[in-house]
Every structure is written in structure tokens, then in C-alpha cells.
Chain A
């Protein structure tokens, strides 16, 4: 194995955040929420860079990991997927990272995000964590990624086993798994869990979830006030900073801004024509392009059933560990992890009705098996309620898979078809 070691590139994210924030501030339509969003990101990565100087440990973790526990113990989280792919976005290091993953022996059928994160740890683009935490949320790749990273980095690891369904015994299992995780964190850090602090964070999570529900309510307005791909910011806030003041400040400000726009009848794009439902992540390298397309065609994503459509329920700060477990079952993505039953499928139809959707775009990431397996199913479900769906074959991080011209062509045809209806 000959993987060239590099310095970690966390500072590239910090620099990019500062730059984007400055650009936002200097623009004519500067939004305070955007500034707060990039402040949140910058703060997150500054804490990561200075963790060891501040005598804190770094815990790398995979998607949907309950980082509330880490915040309650002053352990600095590093979201493995988000961090790796922000570095790629801001440095263009995609080739090195994927090549390092392949050098480890990971075949090309393993999705680029997970082949890449192993590569990023191997070549040092992301810092070596003190511990690696992973779970089976939300696919086999997340479940299998941790052991190799533990081996590469020499860190201690904990695998959190999420049950597939949500029966009482499965919830008990998850709560006990979380209890073991707390024990692991205490042993690794030499610190005790601060249960009062965790209760406070759980209480703040209630606030955060409620803010996201309010924002989603505002998105129902015609025209919709939220930016075409703004949902990515919502999920990033939850992935990185659940129950944290900076996330709540961002979401409160955003809600207020959107509320004012709804009152004024202002839309996110100048001439809203198509209200779209989005499935999964658009290619990260096409964000600017997709924003321009949205403005050009008046097409806005108004709902994302598996990303932003939170389930019912409230958390109980008096039972913090149970609440962290409970949260796992109300996050929108959980519908994709469990059985694809009437509840999961029903949420799609609910969203169509509530958000007055007239078209859906399915970003079929070619490496993602468990999502792509639902393309026909979702298309058929939507056809039953007279909503056409466009499938865009792409890769969330690899720019060589789909070109902007190709995507533009597909979207143009789709919008023409919607217009003809």
C-alpha cells in the first residue's frame, strides 16, 4: 500500500466559510441567516482544529450519530462524511482521496462517499481522531466503514447497532446501546457524562426540531420563500450542531426571515413556476449550477420527505438517553432505514398534498444501493397522485459521472413536460 500522506485540510473549510460569509455580507441582498450558517460551520471546524490544544478529544463519527452525547462531554465531534466532502468541495482533492480509498483495496462498487472517507483517513486529509464512532444508520457502507478506519488510524472504536424497526424491545435495545456508548466515551475521555448538560441539549433539540418544523411550514407558502437547495443547510445544522446555540440562532433567524418573506409575498426565485419534491443529495459540485437553473426556470425544492419532513413526537429532557434514542426515530432519514412500509411511502403522498408539489426530482447516486432501489417504487407512488418524477443519474461527489450539460438537458425537458401539463 503506497498512500501519500498529506496535511489535514480542515483549514480549507474555515477559509472557505470566511470567504463565503464575506461575499454574502458584501452583497446587496445579504441575509443574516446565511452569515450565521457560515459562522456555525466555521466555529465547528475551529473547535476541531484546536481540540487537542484545548485538551479535548476528537471523536470521528458517521452519519446520524447521536453527537448530543459528545457535546455533553466536551468531546469534539468530527462528522466524517460532511468533513471529507467539504474538503473535496473546497480543495478539489477528489482524485487523491478516491485513489487512496482504492489503494486500501476498496472496490469501485463501494460508493464514492465511503470509499473516499477511508481514503481521507489513510492519506491524512482529515485529522486522526482519538476515537471512531459509527453505526448502521443508514446503510451497509456506514455499518462497515468504521472497522477499516479504526485499523487505519489506530483509534479506539465503538459501533452503535440501531435496530431496524421501532418496537418496545428495539427501543430498549437502542437505549442500552447508547448507555454502553456513554461508558465507552467515559473510559476513553476520563470524563463523566454530564447528565444535566445532556438534558439541556435534549431540551434544545426540541427547540431545534420545532424550528425546522416551522421552517417547513413556511415553505408551504406560494411562492415558497426558502432557497432552492436550502434544505442542505437545514440538514447540515442537524448533522453537525444538534441542540447547539449556533444552530438554533441560525434557524431562528432563518425562520424570521422566511416569515417576513411569506408576509410580503416574496419567493425564493423571482418567478416560481415549479414546486419540486427532492429525493437525496444533488451532486455537490453542481450546487451553483443548480441554483442558477432554479432561478432560470423558477423551479424550487419545497419538500424533501426523507431529509426535512420530521416525524411526530417530542423529546423528554427528563429522560435524556431515551430521548436521544427517540430522536433517531423521528429524524426524516429513519424512514429510509426501516421497512419501506405504508408509513414511509405515505409520507411522500403527505408531502405532495401539503406542499402542493407538481414534480419530483430523484438524484440517483450511482453508488447508493438502498436509495436507488426505490426509484420505481417512488415513481409509481407519485404517478398515483399525478406527480411526474425525473431521475438524474449522478454521483454526489465525483464530477466525472454527470456533466452539467446532461443535467441541464434533462431538467429542461422535464420542465417543458410539466409546463405542458
Chain B
């Protein structure tokens, strides 16, 4: 399907995609963000291109990063840093991070010290959803906007923010529509293919992405494509960008129909609610803090309940939790999440993985056994 293949092509030239190259060639600035708590709308409203900094979507030599971040930081942080140290992100005009987890904040610290990206900003991200936390996060977003305006020399108007918000909301809405198709008994798109689409979303202008995604959804809706599997599965846990990993799960007979990942549902989960009674910047900050939460947030039941809702909505038979080694927030949550899912009669498979792994070997064996167990349960 051509409308799907072009997303794959975008990802082939990672990390400097043709779309980034084109934006740069027109004199545009490109800013990398390290975590889903960084509001892309602000960067976009200044006329710059926000892209997500991610690591290799395959197993890679991380020797330089190991030396700078030590091996007990997650492979996602080290993989991102490795690319940075190798100069693969030299096209960036700036990096924006958040105090979201130890891996992310140290990646930001080391990046700032050793990689010559000109602009840096780190946001305090509260761990609560209280009204007080909303105010603090709003103040942080205001301070970021001011710092960003000073650096870029662009005054970001409310109107520009409003337009950017509409654009990014459209991406979220389209991704939701794509996911709706996965609720079918036989979805027209697989989990691995969906990840290709999502990966492209971080590396190209949303204006083009939305146009392409709209066309893809139209093609899928009118096609007779049908993916099937022996069990419907939801993926949860740490950051994941490797479609091969998802494919290896699907190759064992699972049909990955939904997920709870910061590189997918938690990226597009909730729209910015535009409320004329409050500044658009406040609407943005509220969306980012209240969005489908990362395991870092308190209380964890907010996340658990959302996972359970998704699991029911997508009629999953089981949940596969893939946790990147040393991803402490997710590892800490796993015993409680497993307990909550058990309470709903949903079995969980916990996989301890490295970021970028393809999911072969032990992972494949364990997934196979899990699928067999799910099948046996249904009989």
C-alpha cells in the first residue's frame, strides 16, 4: 500500500529525514524534544520544526554512550546519546527536556555538557495532577516560551499558538481514527505497521503528516486488508520505537491491537481542549500534564485505570509489558499493574528487554508460550 510505504521511507533516512533536510534547506530551525511532556506546539508556533529525539531502532554499539552515561542507565537514553555523540543530531538547533525520569534528566545533563547543541531548556514537570501542579506547570511552560522566544527572536502570538494547537490536535484526532480501525476483529493494519506511522510522526512536519495519514486512513477504510492472530494483545511499558520488535510478537501469532507507550497512545492520547476562557498556553500546559500518564506520575492508578479501559475497549486477551532494563518507573509499577490487570481477568506477560531489541530468541519463546496460554484459556 503506497500510502503506508511512504511512512516507512521517511523512517529509512533516520535521524535526518528528507523532510527535516528540506526544512533546514529553507532556513528553518529544528528543535529536538526528549519526552512527551515537552509541548511541541510552542516550538511549532515559532516557525520551527519539533522532532523527537530517539535512539537506534535496532541493537547498536553504544560504547561512547556507555562511557558517558554508564551502563546502568536505560538503553534508550544511551542510544539517544550515542547518536548525539556520533554527530547524527548535529542538525539540531536546540534540545528541550523535562525532569521526567532519572534517565531523561541525566541524558539532558550529559547532552548539554558534551554535545554542542546551541539551545537547551529543561522543564520542571510535577508528578501530580492537582490544581497547584497545573499552575506550576503552566509557569514552567510560560518560562520555556519566553526562553524560546529570546533564543529564536520570534514573538509567539496567541494566534500562532492557536493555529499550531489545531494542527497538532488534528494529528491526534487522525491517530485516534487509525487506532479505531484496530478495534475491528480483523484490523486492516498491524501493530508493526502502526509503529512505522508513529515513528514518522516524530520526524516530519505535521502539515504533511496529517495529509498523508488522512490518505492512509481512507485507503485502509476502503481496502480489504485484514490482519489476524490467535490472541488480541496490548503492549504496555517503556519507550519502544522498533517495529521489528512488534512484528516479532505478531509473528508468534499475537495480534497487537493497542498499546500504552509514550511513542504511541500516550503521544496522541488526549487533545488540547481549547477553552476561550483561558489562555491557549494554559490549555496546552493542562493537556500535557493531564495526558495519558507516564509511570512517573502519582497516583499510579490513573495510569492503571487508563490501561484497563484501553484493554477493554480493544477487547484484548492479554497484556505484554515490555520494560527496558533500568527503566525504574515502569519496573516499579509492574507488580501493582499486574495485580490490577489480574483483578480484571487479564493475564500479563512481563518482558525485560533492551531498547532497540528485535524480540528474537528468549522473547519470542516467552511470547509464544504466552499466546498458547491465552488460547488455552479461551477454550
Contacts and interface: CB of A to CB of B under 8 A. Distances in A.
B300 A147 contact: yes
B82 to A, nearest CB: 14
Given A141-B332, A369-B103, A375-B70, A170 B124 contact: yes
A116 to B, nearest CB: 14
Contacts of A173: 126, 132-133, 135-136
A161 B73 contact: no
Contact of A143 (B70, B296, B334): B296
A369 B299 contact: no
A109 B332 contact: no
B298 A377 contact: no
B139 interface: yes
Given A141-B328, A369-B73, A136 B127 contact: yes
A148 B108 CA distance: 29
Contact of B334 (A107, A141, A367): A107
B102 A370 contact: yes
Contact of B128 (A161, A164, A366): A161
Contacts of A143: 127, 296, 298, 329
A176 interface: yes
Contact of B336 (A136, A148, A177, A374): A148
Interface string A101-120: 00011110110000000000
A373 B109 contact: yes
Interface in A42-98: none
Contacts of B143: 167
Given A139-B102, A164-B125, A110 B110 contact: no
Given A147-B299, A147-B300, A164-B125, A368 B334 contact: no
A336 to B, nearest CB: 10
Contacts of A161: 126-128, 133, 298
B298 A164 contact: no
Interface in B107-152: 108-110, 113, 122, 124-128, 132-133, 135-136, 139-140, 143
A368 B72 contact: yes
B376 interface: no
Nearest to B127: A161
B333 to A, nearest CB: 7
Nearest to A174: B136
A280 interface: no
Given A144-B333, A374-B106, A377-B113, A369 B328 contact: yes
A163 B126 contact: yes
A42 to B, nearest CB: 33
A140 B296 contact: yes
Interface in A346-370: 364, 366-370
Contacts of B113: 340, 377
Interface in A108-146: 109-110, 136, 139-141, 143-145
A22 interface: no
A270 B300 CA distance: 54
B17 interface: no
A169 interface: yes
Q: For chain B, what secondary structure do more than half of its interface residues adopt (helix, strand, loop), or is it mixed?
A: helix
B325 A373 contact: no
B106 A340 contact: yes
Contacts of A370: 102, 105-106
B110 A377 contact: yes
B261 interface: no
A151 interface: yes
Given A159-B128, A163-B126, A109 B325 contact: yes
Contacts of A376: 67-70, 110
A110 B331 contact: yes
Nearest to B327: A109
Contacts of A377: 68, 109-110, 113
Contacts of B122: 164, 339
Contacts of A159: 127-128, 298-299
Given A167-B143, A373-B109, A144 B73 contact: no
A275 B326 CA distance: 34
B153 interface: no
B101 interface: yes
A105 B126 contact: no
B136 A163 contact: yes
A364 B101 CA distance: 19
A241 to B, nearest CB: 28
Interface in A266-281: none
A367 B334 CA distance: 18
Contacts of B350: 105
Nearest to B109: A340
Contacts of A364: 70
A267 B73 CA distance: 40
Interface in A320-352: 339-340
A139 B72 CA distance: 14
Interface string B324-354: 0111110111111010000000000010100
Contacts of A368: 72
Contacts of A193: none
B349 to A, nearest CB: 13
A148 B70 contact: no
B99 interface: yes
A394 to B, nearest CB: 12
Nearest to B107: A373
Given A105-B335, A161-B126, A376-B68, 18 more contacts: A107-B352, A110-B332, A140-B101, A140-B329, A145-B332, A147-B298, A147-B299, A161-B133, A164-B124, A169-B139, A339-B109, A367-B72, A368-B72, A369-B74, A369-B102, A373-B69, A373-B73, A373-B109
22 contacts: A105-B338, A105-B350, A106-B331, A107-B334, A110-B328, A110-B331, A140-B328, A141-B332, A143-B127, A143-B298, A159-B128, A164-B105, A167-B139, A170-B124, A177-B132, A339-B109, A340-B109, A364-B70, A369-B72, A369-B102, A370-B106, A376-B110
Interface of A: 104-107, 109-110, 136, 139-141, 143-145, 147-148, 151, 159, 161, 163-165, 167, 169-170, 173, 176-177, 339-340, 364, 366-370, 372-377
The 8 closest A-B pairs by CB, nearest first: A105-B335, A144-B332, A164-B99, A373-B106, A340-B109, A372-B70, A164-B124, A370-B102
